[in-house]
Amino acid sequence: MAIDLKQMAQELRRAPILSDCSVQELARVVPYAVEHFLENGQALFQSGNPALTLYFVRRGKVQLWAGGRVIAEVEHGFVGEEAAVSSDYYMADAIAVDNTEVIALPREAITKVAGVGTPTIDRFYASLLSHYSGQPSRELEHRSPISQLKRNDWVQSCGWILSVVIPGILYLILRETAEFDWNSQMFLIVLTSTIVMWVFGMVPEFIPGLFCILSLLILDIAPSEVILSGFASGSFFMALSLFGLGAVLMGSGLTYRLVLWLSRFIPKTESWYATALFLTGLAMTPILPSANGRIGLLSPILTDTIDATGVKPGGKAASHLAFATFSGASLLSHVFLSSKSANFVVYGLLPLQVQQQFSWVYWLQASLVVGIVTLVLYFISTKFLFSNNQAFEISQQQVEAQVETLGPLSSQEWISLVSTIVLLLGIVTASIHKIQLPWIGLGVLFLVLSLGILKKNEFRTQIDWPFLILLGSLVGIAEAMSYLGLDTHFGGYLTWLSDSMSSNFPLFIFLLSLTILVVRFVIPNTTAVAIFATILIPMAESNGVNPWIVGAIILNISDAWFFPYQCSYYLQFQELLDKQQLFNERLILRGNFLATLIRFFSIYLSLGYFRTLGIL
């Protein structure tokens, strides 16, 4: 029985993948929808046919055949996703089982909801791959313990209510005191509402920051050049430049070629492969300013390594390789200025003279002993945690074939390599040419843009613009706080922490670390860094402590986590490796607990080195 367009529209709104599209997008698709009826055994399409139409199975069942066998059976789902992902041909035969009804959507209709770089196109890719993997597609979700409850309307409603009620109560309290002037009162009220929105995770992190900046501007709490100073800061442009270069390196395939080249010379044992994976992640750390990006690049390499070595998925050897990969991509993020976005938050909050002192090279020099101690303790702990050293049977011929398939360096890889070398040379020779690091990075970004290596669309989609807005907002908030003198004022309220900062720094480290670990149970990493750095960096300056060392401790400890929900890139790691199928999560979490202790002890064991440099 035929259905009208209105009913068809309702069907599509409930369809997997399309259910997340807006009603405006679906309204543009509906005119293209056509219903088809299939009898038992009738072919919907065959392998090798041009992939021009996507089909939604609304009733009945469709089997997908490839290699002479059934690879998937689809009920109330999509087949023919090749049309959605712009593949030229279908890769399997689609045969109806019993009487089946489908809704056909031509390729030109799908482009209206699944453009390049959109989440919808990624879901169609996942759906297509799920037919061949035998596993249902899943979407990565990262939620704090509060935002996990967001599906319950009352929790989200409580968050919005508290973002109004708590600032209102604060206003009533401040009105009765003469401690703050009107501008300071309004600043504290706006900042309180912003922090509540961050804690409850009701909206993406950059939106509360934008709200705070907008409110400060409208209320004229500080001059606009102070409030908006973050968007003209060197840290903003440095982050922008490194995001662009990271996108170029990943897109060119240069880093993957490097990994294959290194694998030609690695002894075929578990410990050597684990070390190589760790060092590969470590080598990417200063180049790609995102732990998620490094995890995304290394995960398929890890999967291929586990397959090629023949180790048992989920076993101790596979878990060792997985832990090494994850640790290499994340454990030393605080050592390199360019390794993660939160580093730029701290860098942007440092006083100008400290920023000029802590160039990329000096940041690394100051963090050197922390990094070395972390490495030594990491390898000792992995020796304890993964005691075996299994020998691998892996074909050197396979590695050689992959390298040969890549062929010589492409022009894009050459330009990516030259751009990276130019950036590194500019950083190393900064003391000679006196050009600040952000402008060197901006020059490299100009180079890759002008040569067309980073396309306009990639510049729009591959740069983390929400984070850049958050970064500019946080720096502006900190500058406004300093302009109002609140940073100095709050030092008096935090005497329990401020006193130990100047009189007993080891005790300060313990108290600060414990506070951060507790706060991290409810606040995401970047937000926690922003809150602690905004308050403690100015306090360090007023106490005669180098602000960088306080920021370095915050960055190091805030990366620690105990439960998966606390770490977005671990959730990504789980998802990319099909959760517990390739590694034993209990071993990974046990290793992560040891990594948290390593972070703590590495700071204490580096205090003498900090004193030698004059930082402490």
Q: What local confidence, expressed as pLDDT, does residue 117 receive?
A: 57
pLDDT at 350 over 80: yes
Give whole-number Cα distances, 590 to 299, 319, 326, 585, 598, in Å: 20, 11, 13, 8, 13
Q: Environment class of residue 538 by beta-carbon count within 10 Å: exposed (0-12), middle (13-18) or buried (19+)?
A: buried
Give whole-number Cα distances, 43 to 92, 173, 234, in Å: 11, 73, 60
Residue pair 478/281 in contact by the 8 Å Cβ criterion:
no
Q: What local confidence, expressed as pLDDT, does residue 407 receive?
A: 81
Strand bridging mode 34-38 / 93-106: antiparallel
Question: CA triplet 483, 489, 492: central angle to 5 degrees?
Answer: 155
Q: What local confidence, expressed as pLDDT, does residue 493 receive?
A: 62
Q: What local confidence, expressed as pLDDT, does residue 522 receive?
A: 62
pLDDT at 1 over 80: no
What is the rounded (10 degree) CA torsion for 97, 103, 107, 113? Answer: -120
Tell me the per-residue pLDDT of 270-296, one tens digit each, with 9 for 90 and over: 888 899 889 988 988 887 777 776 786
Evaluated on CA atoms 166, 168, 169, 170, the torsion sign reads positive
Which whole number is the average pLDDT over 324-347? 89
Residue type, 493: Y
Q: Which of 279-288, 420-429, 550-559 shows the highest mean pLDDT?
A: 550-559
Structure tokens at 264: 């030609």
> Which of 100-109, 377-386, 420-429 is the least confident region?
420-429
DSSP string, 111-146: TTT--TT-HHHHHHHHHHHHHHHSS---------TT
Q: What local confidence, expressed as pLDDT, does residue 90 receive?
A: 92
Residues 6+ apart with CB under 8 A from 372: none
Residue pair 340/289 in contact by the 8 Å Cβ criterion:
yes
DSSP string, 454-516: S-HHHHHHHS-HHHHHHHHHHHHHHHHHHHHTHHHHHHTTTHHHHHHHHH-HHHHHHHHHHHH
The residues pairing with 37 across neighbouring beta strands, listed in sequence order, are 101
H/E segment holding residue 60: strand 53-66
Residue pair 111/124 in contact by the 8 Å Cβ criterion:
no
Tell me the per-residue pLDDT of 577-616, one tens digit each, with 9 for 90 and over: 755 478 888 889 999 999 999 999 999 999 999 999 888 7
Residue pair 136/99 in contact by the 8 Å Cβ criterion:
no
pLDDT at 87 over 60: yes
Domains and CATH numbers, the chain: 5-133 (2.60.120.10), 147-203 (no CATH), 232-613 (no CATH)
Q: What local confidence, expressed as pLDDT, does residue 156 receive?
A: 75
Query: For the chain, what percent of residues have pLDDT higher than 70?
Result: 88
Residue pair 197/163 in contact by the 8 Å Cβ criterion:
yes
Residues 6+ apart with CB under 8 A from 547: 349, 350, 351, 354, 537, 538, 540, 541
Its pTM stands at: 0.59
SS3 content of the chain, % helix, strand, coil (to 5): 65, 10, 25
The residues pairing with 563 across neighbouring beta strands, listed in sequence order, are none
Strand bridging mode 53-66 / 93-106: antiparallel
Distance CA(341)–CA(268), nearest Å, equals: 36
Buried b (16+ CB within 10 A) or exposed e, 185-194: bbbbbbbbbb
- Please provide the average confidence, as pLDDT, over all residues in the chain: 82
Helices (H), 331-410: 341-349, 352-357, 360-366, 368-385, 396-406
pLDDT at 341 over 60: yes
Tell me the per-residue pLDDT of 118-170, one tens digit each, with 9 for 90 and over: 678 878 888 888 887 666 554 444 444 444 444 446 767 888 899 899 999 99
Which whole number is the average pLDDT over 261-275? 80
Residue pair 277/298 in contact by the 8 Å Cβ criterion:
yes
Q: What local confidence, expressed as pLDDT, does residue 331 receive?
A: 93
Query: Can you tell me whether residue 17 is helix, strand or coil?
Result: coil
Residues 6+ apart with CB under 8 A from 195: 208, 531
Residue pair 5/30 in contact by the 8 Å Cβ criterion:
yes
Distance CA(567)–CA(101), nearest Å, equals: 43
Tell me the per-residue pLDDT of 456-476, one tens digit each, with 9 for 90 and over: 888 887 787 887 888 888 888
